[in-house]
């Protein structure tokens, strides 16, 4: 039997951390060797997430107490809050440069450190490492991810917009000045920390937009769309919070270029993703629902006619905790460690 890779999960007491544990437990080539959670240090994972009560897992420890040089880890996932990860990763790289890293925060997603400072309100604390970071949207950057030491896992909203749009932008099939992304996310996208605006009575039976005109994911979208187009691209993006646990649905409005019809756009996407395991394009005219991808690493994409001639409606759905975060992180890990890309991620969506 092949030797198992030793894996660490930093921030295991959060939603993306626990989702990583769930996925890694079924991965045939991985052993969970380290779990950190500073506020829960010394506790068992089962006391934080009772669904793991029947499973033997390492006790939660503080990041500050980890001996990186002697930990024997092959890869760590950083599921830590934005703004804290840069310092942690600097320490890991300095002490144990052989450890590969997948960062689920936004700290290394923006190649331009000045853009990071502008959008996140503080200077980038590891600009030398930013130069090494690879943006981890697998279906677009697969080749560079295979050889990366540090991968910046994409955001959930951005994944749900970039996967349907980048192939169309690369094909020069849509008008770049007329892209509108209307996106909705479940509650887990806001993290597990207690916030007054996120308690049940504040969000149930309601539906609202937030970050209107200035959401941080806009910088990520600008970066990836501009790279695909070879010129600056700025799109309209508005996120909304929906009182459900999981899922993102993006309804995207585009205009075909040079007479391209919605059927033409559908054909481009179908061809681009024909051999992809985790992105599925529905038959023309059908659109996905979040419930159809729940718990899976899948993204479903649909294309339909708009009643305005020349315009198309593109709808994408994914699970924000899986393909939008931890599942995509495992997909990146598989590439970085030379495993089969789909390993540990083959689960079908949970329905109903």
Residue 230's alpha-carbon distances to 51, 218, 222, 304, in angstroms, are 47, 18, 12, 27
Tokens of 50: 């009772």
Task: Retrieve residue 187's tokens.
Answer: 């509650």
The residues with which 317 forms a beta bridge, in sequence order, are 249, 300
DSSP string, 190-213: G-SS--GGGSHHHHTT--EE-STT
Main-chain dihedrals φ then ψ at residue 34, nearest 5 degrees: -150, 135
DSSP codes, 108-164: TT-S-HHHHHHHHSS--S-HHHHTT-EE--HHHHHHHHHT-SEEEPPPHHHHHHHHH
Residues 6+ apart with CB under 8 A from 106: 82, 120, 152, 155, 216, 220
A 10 A CB-CB count for 82 gives: 14
Whole-number Å distance between alpha carbons of 329 and 103: 8
| DSSP structure class, residue 80 | -
Strand 248-255 versus strand 180-185 pairing type: antiparallel
Cα distance between residue 148 and residue 336, in whole Å: 7
Q: Looking at 30, 78, 156, 160, which residue is catalytic?
A: 156
Is residue 160 among the annotated active site residues?
Answer: no
- CB 153 within 8 Å of CB 293: no
Distance CA 261, CA 273 (A): 19
Catalytic residue positions, numbered: 156
């Amino acid at each position: 039997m092949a030797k198992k890779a030793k894996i660490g999960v930093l921030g295991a007491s959060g939603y993306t951390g626990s989702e990583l544990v769930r996925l890694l437990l079924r991965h045939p080539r991985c052993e969970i060797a380290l779990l950190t959670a500073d506020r829960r240090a010394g506790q068992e994972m089962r006391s934080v997430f009772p669904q793991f009560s029947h499973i033997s897992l390492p006790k939660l420890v503080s990041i500050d107490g980890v001996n990186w040089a002697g930990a024997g880890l092959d890869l760590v996932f950083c599921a830590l809050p934005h703004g804290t990860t840069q310092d942690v990763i600097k320490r890991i790289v300095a002490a144990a440069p052989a450890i590969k890293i997948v960062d689920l925060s936004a700290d290394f997603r923006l190649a331009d450190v000045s853009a990071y400072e502008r959008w996140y309100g503080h200077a980038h604390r590891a600009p030398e490492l930013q130069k090494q970071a690879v943006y981890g949207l697998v279906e677009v950057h697969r080749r560079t991810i295979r050889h990366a030491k540090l991968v910046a896992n994409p955001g959930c909203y951005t994944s749900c917009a970039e996967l349907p749009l980048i192939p169309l932008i690369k094909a020069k099939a849509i008008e770049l000045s007329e892209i509108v992304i209307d996106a909705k996310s479940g509650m887990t996208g806001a993290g597990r920390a207690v916030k007054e605006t996120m308690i049940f009575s504040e969000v149930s039976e309601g539906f609202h937009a937030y970050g209107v005109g200035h959401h941080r994911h806009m910088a990520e979208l600008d970066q990836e769309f501009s790279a695909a187009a070879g010129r600056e691209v700025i799109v309209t993006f508005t996120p909304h919070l929906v009182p459900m646990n999981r899922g993102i649905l993006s309804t995207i409005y585009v205009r075909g270029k040079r007479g391209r019809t919605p059927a033409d756009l559908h054909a481009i996407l179908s061809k681009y993703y024909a051999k992809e395991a985790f992105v599925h394009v529905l038959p023309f005219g059908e659109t996905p629902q979040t419930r159809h991808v729940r718990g899976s690493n899948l993204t479903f994409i649909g294309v339909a006619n708009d009643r305005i001639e020349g315009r198309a409606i593109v709808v994408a759905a994914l699970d924000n905790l899986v393909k939008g975060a931890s599942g995509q992180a495992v997909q990146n890990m598989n590439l970085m460690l030379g495993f089969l890309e789909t390993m540990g991620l083959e689960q079908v969506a949970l329905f109903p």
